[in-house]
């Protein structure tokens, strides 16, 4: 069968035909890759073929070059690079040829495939003529070819990193793109393609944005494009402005007045998608200024890479009224629709960011709007006024807000009970939650909540939890923050009502409509917070709650033969119940008196969790795993009796690369088990260690799980002591190579540096655990050969000067551990390392008490070692 027919069959309605075609394609790819790729590119380039087969041919080509999975992606890149040159150039020539096809879908698909190949080849310095050939005669091209070419340039910019492209080529790309955006361009399609291409090319334009003339030109063209008659061009142009606001914040000063006018017009008059982008521009400026001011940390002499231009503060008198206007443009059902996003929501969100940026200054600008609208008969006005109030509660100082809130609180409580409109009640409950979140709690000097009004607040919230789902959900949220504010405060005014609160929340979880507006989830979240923040006085109630939740979990396990839809709901509920149990167990396990009460239920609870595991749903798995960590912590060595039943699931968890969160949590639970069981974990260590070492060497496992695995090696070593001997030959080389990797890591950005530090911390915790585990046994001498490397690692860390406080504390601790366990064998080597002594001195004079404490201990251990 020829390829066209197979490609069409692969899109057939008949599943059997489709499946057969897919298999044929797969076979084809496996048996003869070069011919497979050539056939597909010929298909895509052939004007005589049906659009559907051409499109799919392009799509399969694309998938043969890239994958979301990192490992697969690397394989595909290697596969392409190792293909015969003539095959590759034939494929490329077909693709470039397709750019001039009259069929839009064929052009567009070809653009994407070209960009994928560019993404592979440009970093290898291959295909150097690509950009030049695309741009060679751009002025003479027909509009549809020009459009496809610009689109291709845009995709290329998205695909490759700026370092790969010479400034000379960047200049050419930008020139072509900006000319394509110009109002003088006759074709709207070309203008749109150019505008979208600019969005991707902005990251390449550092040099051009530093040149005043070039920047002025680009900005002028972008601003003009926001006034295009074509709504898609206007939207794309605003998207460019948003991207510019975060990438080139420090270059915007001279354009801000114009941009304000443009955005303000768009917000008031343009279609919603355009208006939303215009608001997003200001939200994005707020993000930038919040970050910069955060780095200033209130100290204006402190260095930030970028100075704050206070654009928001300057625009405030005009910006705030514009945003307040948007609040009146609510949609009828927005509160029921979780994914809703409209002008009112974007405006309120932006107002909240503005409040965080400027603080107190926003209050006098918003108060008149609130006062004018809050009592109006029209619900939109009351809701907008409440929303405005709720939005500005984070940012301004408590001193500024508390007097206002004290006046408003009663009004809000009444509105929540009596307002006839659900939107108003929804926003009112949310605003109360914000009040409790930011103006109540032990960190504040004065709280807006007193023992007197607390009871009234509670009555209203519990009543409101019986309201329609979206209002009840917000009431739960408010209760969440009310409880949080009383964390660790004995004599909490909530204590007398504790039983009622728990009962009301349980009632909410049982509502028939609790599935709407994520009400059930909110109720459990609030229940969890209420338990977490409870005090000793209410411990008996928490203890009574345990069997109640256990019974509910038991019931979910008894129901059988569910439809797949019901099963999903059941799984979700099991997740919530396991989460709740985890919180209760952790609470009861934390104090000696309540721990005993928990112990009585331990057997039953473990049986339930094992049954939940047997259901094999990944999310439930994770929650039950977290809960089991809490059980191990509470029961300690007694956990041994559950190990046999639990071990298979532990192993499954460690093998779950797909849901890496599950894997990470299971690794944490291994640590809990080590501390609970100590040397009794030994019989399980072979299995656990095998899996952990496998995980460490796998490139499929999400990298965030690796640092905790290293720490976990330390937990195991500390638990089993010299029995760790047999794992040394496997784990030490892994630690060494990871150490090398992490100390050489060129931390180009903060995220990389954070990861490098997490890795370092994990490695150092492993070394600490191993060293301390071998202390006081003759086998400690087995560690002596590893000392030079550990010291080198510490030296490198010290010299790199980019470790964070956590790493510093762990690192100086390892220095002490070396001396503590190995004595003179370590100290002799330490004397040769200048850095370790300087490092110790630096830590001894640290301002961080935990670093200092570790350093003092290390100093003592070293002093003992050198004087032996």
Partner 1 sequence: MPPPEVRRSIKRSAVSDQQRRRELALLRQTQQRSDSQNRARRLASSVFTLSSSSSSDLILPDKDILTRAADSEEHEAHLDESVAPARELNVVQASKLKGREARQWFARQLMLPEWMIDIPPKLDRDWYVFARPAGNRCFVVSSNGTTISRLRNGSVLHHFPSSLPNGSRTRDSSGPASSYCVLDCIFHEPDQTYYVIDMVCWRDYSLYDCTAEFRFFWLNSKLAESGACNSPSTYHRYRFSVVPIYDCNQAGLHAAYSTSMPYTKDGVLFFNKHAHYQTGNTPLALVWKDNYCSQYFLDTDSQGLVPTQQQVVLEMQEDGKLTTSDDPPVVFGSLEVDFIQKSEFRAGNLLRFAIKDESVRVVDGKLELGDLQFISKSNRARAFADSYSKVFFQYAARHSPLKIEDIAASILPNLPDDSPIVDVEMGS
Q: Quick one: which segment of 214-222, 307-315, 647-655, 778-786 binds partner 1 (CB under 8 A)?
A: 778-786
Site for partner 1 in 441-500 (CB under 8 A): 477
660: contact with partner 1 by CB under 8 A:
no
Identified binder of partner 1 from the candidate list 283, 538, 666, 743, rule CB under 8 A: 283
- Output 675 or 789, the one with its CB closest to partner 1: 675
Report the nearest approach of partner 1 to the CB of residue 167 (Å).
Answer: 29
- Output 361 or 817, the one with its CB closest to partner 1: 817
348: contact with partner 1 by CB under 8 A:
yes
Site residue total, partner 1 (CB under 8 A): 74
586: contact with partner 1 by CB under 8 A:
yes
Identified binder of partner 1 from the candidate list 430, 436, 613, 839, rule CB under 8 A: 430
Q: How far apart are CA 14 and CA 29, in angstroms?
A: 23
Report the nearest approach of partner 1 to the CB of residue 664 (Å).
Answer: 8
Binding mask 168-207 for partner 1 (x = CB under 8 A): ----------------------------------------
Question: DSSP readout, 716-765?
Answer: HHHHHGGGGHHHHHHHHHHHHHHHHHHHH----SHHHHHHHHHHHHHHHH
- Output 109 or 534, the one with its CB closest to partner 1: 534
Q: Cα 650 vs. chain centroid, distance in angstroms?
A: 26
Site for partner 1 in 519-538 (CB under 8 A): 521, 524-525, 528-529, 532
Site for partner 1 in 610-629 (CB under 8 A): 623, 626, 629
Report the nearest approach of partner 1 to the CB of residue 403 (Å).
Answer: 23
- Output 43 or 552, the one with its CB closest to partner 1: 552
CB 392, CB 435: distance < 8 Å: no
CB burial class (10 A; 0-12, 13-18, 19+) of residue 378?
exposed
Identified binder of partner 1 from the candidate list 264, 391, 574, 695, rule CB under 8 A: 391
Identified binder of partner 1 from the candidate list 11, 211, 463, 863, rule CB under 8 A: 863
Tokens at 649, concatenated: 């699931």
Q: Quick one: which segment of 32-40, 73-81, 135-143, 670-678 binds partner 1 (CB under 8 A)?
A: 670-678
Question: Among 851, 860, 839, 755, which residue's Cα sits nearest to residue 795?
Answer: 839
Q: How far apart are CA 149 and CA 154, in angstroms?
A: 9
Q: How far apart are CA 295 and CA 300, in angstroms?
A: 10
232: contact with partner 1 by CB under 8 A:
no
Report the nearest approach of partner 1 to the CB of residue 245 (Å).
Answer: 12
Question: DSSP readout, 325-339?
Answer: HHHT---TTTTT-TT
Q: How far apart are the first and last CA of the chain?
A: 84
CB 426, CB 379: distance < 8 Å: no
Tokens at 182, concatenated: 């110009």
Report the nearest approach of partner 1 to the CB of residue 710 (Å).
Answer: 12
- Output 35 or 340, the one with its CB closest to partner 1: 340
Question: Among 206, 352, 207, 333, which residue's Cα sits nearest to residue 279?
Answer: 352
Report the nearest approach of partner 1 to the CB of residue 477 (Å).
Answer: 7
Site for partner 1 in 154-173 (CB under 8 A): none
276: contact with partner 1 by CB under 8 A:
yes
Report the nearest approach of partner 1 to the CB of residue 772 (Å).
Answer: 4
In order of 499, 721, 733, 741, 777, the CA distances from 736 in angstroms are 55, 20, 5, 9, 23
Identified binder of partner 1 from the candidate list 70, 450, 776, 831, rule CB under 8 A: 776
Residue 630 region by backbone torsions, left for phi larger than 0, else alpha for psi between -120 and 50, else beta: alpha
379: contact with partner 1 by CB under 8 A:
no
- Output 201 or 676, the one with its CB closest to partner 1: 676
Q: Quick one: which segment of 97-105, 111-119, 648-656, 776-784 binds partner 1 (CB under 8 A)?
A: 776-784
What b/e string do you get for 105-142 counting C-beta neighbours within 10 Å, with b at 16 or more?
ebbbbbbbbbbbbbbbbbeeeebeebbeebbeebeebe
Q: How far apart are CA 351 and CA 355, in angstroms?
A: 6
568: contact with partner 1 by CB under 8 A:
no
Q: Quick one: which segment of 219-227, 607-615, 735-743, 772-780 binds partner 1 (CB under 8 A)?
A: 772-780
Q: How far apart are CA 100 and CA 147, in angstroms?
A: 10
Report the nearest approach of partner 1 to the CB of residue 18 (Å).
Answer: 31
Q: How far apart are CA 236 and CA 225, in angstroms?
A: 8
Q: Where are the alpha helices (DSSP H) in 375-497?
A: 379-391, 398-418, 422-439, 451-464, 469-485
345: contact with partner 1 by CB under 8 A:
yes
- Output 80 or 387, the one with its CB closest to partner 1: 387
- Output 221 or 771, the one with its CB closest to partner 1: 771
- Output 396 or 769, the one with its CB closest to partner 1: 769
Residue 297 region by backbone torsions, left for phi larger than 0, else alpha for psi between -120 and 50, else beta: left
In order of 518, 526, 589, the CA distances from 531 in angstroms are 20, 9, 13
Q: How far apart are CA 802 and CA 743, in angstroms?
A: 10
CB burial class (10 A; 0-12, 13-18, 19+) of residue 177?
buried
758: contact with partner 1 by CB under 8 A:
no
32: contact with partner 1 by CB under 8 A:
no
Site for partner 1 in 707-736 (CB under 8 A): 711, 714-715, 718
CB 681, CB 674: distance < 8 Å: yes
Report the nearest approach of partner 1 to the CB of residue 270 (Å).
Answer: 14
Report the nearest approach of partner 1 to the CB of residue 777 (Å).
Answer: 7
- Output 467 or 765, the one with its CB closest to partner 1: 765
Q: What angle do CA 403, 391, 308 make, to 5 degrees?
A: 100
134: contact with partner 1 by CB under 8 A:
no
- Output 4 or 528, the one with its CB closest to partner 1: 528
Identified binder of partner 1 from the candidate list 50, 143, 162, 273, rule CB under 8 A: 273
- Output 373 or 526, the one with its CB closest to partner 1: 526
Identified binder of partner 1 from the candidate list 775, 789, 796, 852, rule CB under 8 A: 775
Q: How far apart are CA 351 and CA 370, in angstroms?
A: 13
- Output 145 or 664, the one with its CB closest to partner 1: 664
CB 639, CB 631: distance < 8 Å: yes
- Output 174 or 627, the one with its CB closest to partner 1: 627
Q: How far apart are CA 362 and CA 373, in angstroms?
A: 17
Site for partner 1 in 809-828 (CB under 8 A): 813, 816-817, 820-825
Tokens at 146, concatenated: 């020009």
Q: How far apart are CA 686 and CA 691, in angstroms?
A: 9
CB 107, CB 152: distance < 8 Å: no
- Output 154 or 390, the one with its CB closest to partner 1: 390
Handedness of CA 48, 49, 51, 54 (dihedral sign): negative
Identified binder of partner 1 from the candidate list 186, 229, 339, 377, rule CB under 8 A: 339
Report the nearest approach of partner 1 to the CB of residue 819 (Å).
Answer: 8
Report the nearest approach of partner 1 to the CB of residue 805 (Å).
Answer: 13
């Amino acid at each position: 069968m020829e390829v066209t027919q197979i490609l069409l069959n692969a899109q057939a309605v008949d599943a059997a035909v489709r499946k057969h075609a897919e298999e044929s394609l797969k076979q084809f790819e496996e048996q003869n890759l070069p011919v497979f790729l050539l056939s597909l590119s010929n298909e895509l380039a052939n004007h005589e073929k049906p659009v559907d087969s051409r499109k799919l041919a392009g799509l399969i080509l694309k998938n043969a070059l890239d994958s979301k999975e990192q490992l697969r992606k690397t394989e595909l890149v290697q596969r392409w690079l190792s293909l015969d040159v003539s095959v590759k150039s034939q494929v490329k020539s077909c693709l470039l040829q397709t750019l001039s096809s009259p069929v839009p879908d064929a052009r567009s698909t070809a653009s994407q495939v070209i960009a994928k190949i560019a993404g592979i080849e440009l970093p290898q310095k291959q295909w150097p003529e690509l950009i030049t050939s695309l741009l060679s005669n751009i002025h003479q091209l027909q509009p549809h070819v020009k459009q496809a070419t610009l689109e291709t340039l845009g995709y290329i910019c998205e695909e490759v990193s700026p370092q790969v492209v010479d400034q000379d080529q960047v200049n050419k790309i930008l020139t072509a793109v900006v000319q394509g955006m110009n109002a003088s361009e006759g074709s709207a399609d070309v203008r749109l393609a150019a505008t979208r291409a600019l969005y991707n090319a902005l990251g390449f334009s550092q040099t051009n944005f530093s040149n005043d003339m070039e920047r002025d030109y680009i900005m002028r063209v972008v601003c003009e494009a926001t006034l295009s008659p074509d709504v898609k061009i206007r939207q794309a142009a605003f998207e460019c402005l948003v991207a510019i606001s975060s990438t080139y914040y420090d270059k915007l000063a001279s354009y801000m007045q114009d941009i304000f006018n443009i955005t303000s017009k768009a917000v008031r008059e343009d279609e919603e998608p355009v208006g939303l982008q215009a608001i997003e521009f200001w939200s994005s400026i707020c993000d930038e200024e919040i970050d910069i001011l955060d780095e200033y940390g209130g100290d204006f002499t402190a260095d930030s890479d970028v100075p704050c231009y206070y654009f928001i503060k300057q625009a405030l008198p005009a910006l705030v009224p514009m945003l307040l206007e948007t609040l009146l443009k609510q949609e009828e059902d927005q509160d029921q629709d979780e994914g809703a996003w409209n002008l009112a929501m974007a405006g309120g969100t932006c107002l909240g960011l503005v409040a965080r940026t400027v603080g107190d200054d926003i209050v006098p600008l918003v108060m008149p709007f609130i006062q004018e609208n809050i009592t109006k008969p029209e619900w939109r006005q009351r809701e907008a006024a409440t929303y405005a109030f709720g939005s500005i509660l984070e940012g301004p100082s408590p001193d500024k807000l508390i007097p206002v809130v004290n006046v408003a609180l009663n009004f809000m409580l009444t509105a929540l009970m009596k307002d006839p409109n659900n939107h108003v009640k929804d926003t009112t409950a949310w605003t109360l939650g914000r009040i409790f979140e930011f103006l109540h709690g032990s960190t504040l000097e004065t709280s807006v909540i007193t023992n007197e009004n607390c009871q009234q607040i509670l009555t209203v919230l519990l009543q409101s939890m019986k309201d329609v789902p979206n209002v009840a959900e917000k009431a739960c949220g408010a209760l969440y923050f009310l409880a949080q504010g009383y964390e660790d405060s004995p004599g909490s005014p909530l204590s007398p009502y504790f039983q009622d609160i728990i009962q009301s929340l349980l009632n909410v979880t049982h509502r028939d409509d609790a599935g709407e507006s994520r009400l059930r989830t909110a109720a459990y979240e609030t229940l969890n917070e209420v338990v977490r923040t409870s005090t000793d006085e209410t411990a008996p109630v928490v203890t009574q709650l345990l069997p109640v939740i256990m019974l509910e979990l038991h019931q979910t396990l008894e129901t059988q033969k569910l439809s797949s839809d019901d099963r999903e709901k059941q799984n979700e509920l099991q997740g919530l119940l396991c989460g709740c149990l985890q919180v209760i167990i952790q609470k009861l396990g934390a104090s000696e008196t309540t721990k005993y009460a928990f112990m009585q239920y331990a057997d039953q609870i473990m049986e339930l969790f094992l049954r939940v595991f047997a259901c094999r749903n990944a999310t439930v798995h994770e929650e039950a795993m977290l809960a089991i960590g809490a059980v191990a912590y509470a029961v300690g060595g007694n956990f041994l009796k559950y190990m046999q039943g639990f071990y298979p699931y532990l192993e499954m968890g460690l093998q779950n690369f797909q849901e890496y969160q599950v894997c990470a949590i299971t690794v944490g639970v291994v640590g809990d088990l080590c501390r609970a069981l100590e040397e009794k974990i030994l019989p399980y260590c072979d299995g656990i260690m095998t899996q952990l070492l496998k995980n460490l060497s796998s490139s499929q496992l999400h990298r965030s799980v690796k640092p905790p695995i290293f720490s976990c090696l330390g937990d195991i070593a500390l638990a089993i002591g010299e029995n760790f001997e047999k794992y040394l030959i496997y784990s030490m080389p892994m630690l060494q190579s990871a150490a090398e990797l992490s100390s050489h890591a060129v931390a180009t950005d903060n995220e990389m540096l954070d990861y490098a530090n997490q890795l370092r911390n994990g490695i150092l915790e492993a070394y600490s655990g191993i060293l301390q585990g071998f202390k006081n046994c003759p086998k400690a001498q087995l560690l002596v050969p590893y000392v030079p490397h550990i010291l080198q690692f510490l030296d490198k860390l010290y010299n790199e000067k980019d470790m964070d406080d956590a790493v510093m504390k762990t690192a100086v601790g390892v220095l002490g551990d070396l001396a503590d366990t190995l004595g003179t064998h370590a100290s002799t080597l330490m004397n040769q390392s200048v850095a370790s002594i300087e490092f110790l001195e630096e830590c001894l004079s640290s301002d961080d008490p935990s670093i200092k404490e570790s350093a003092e201990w290390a100093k003592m251990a070293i002093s003992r070692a050198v004087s032996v």
